Amino acid sequence: MDWFSSYLSDQTQAFCANGVMSGPIPVTCSVPQGSVLGPVLFISYRPTEDVTLIFDSHQVNHHLYADDKQAYVSVPVNNVSLARQTLER
């Protein structure tokens, strides 16, 4: 159980907007994307309902497919900082 817990803890993600990379952001839910165990964990955990609630509560658009998630916001091209703040929140 300790190994399994360590596999899912201390995960981070980052995003790139207009060529500027965000800092690492802690991932507090879901399964690491691209991992060998990802599909199995996704099927057993089924986090999509919780994730959509989180996206919706922060007014973030999203697409979900299998174990893949895309989060995005639409802002004027001169306001990339607003998009970054929204996605980091």
Q: pLDDT for 8-31, tens place per residue?
A: 788 888 888 888 998 898 887 766
Phi-psi group of 38: left, alpha or beta (phi > 0 → left; psi -120 to 50 → alpha; rest → beta): alpha
Does the predicted model carry a pTM greater than 0.85?
A: no
User: What's the mean per-residue pLDDT of the chain?
Assistant: 81
Looking at residue 4, its pLDDT comes to: 72
Q: Which is it for the CA torsion 71, 77, 82, 88, positive or negative?
A: positive
Mean predicted confidence (pLDDT) in 60-86: 85
Mean predicted confidence (pLDDT) in 62-77: 83
Looking at residue 8, its pLDDT comes to: 74
Q: How many domains does the chain have?
A: 1
- H or E stretch at 20: strand 20-21
Q: Parallel, antiparallel, or unpaired: how do β-strands 25-27 and 61-65 relate? A: unpaired
Could you tell me the residue range of the domain that residue 77 belongs to? 2-88
Query: What amino acid is encoded at 64 in this protein?
Result: L
Looking at residue 73, its pLDDT comes to: 92
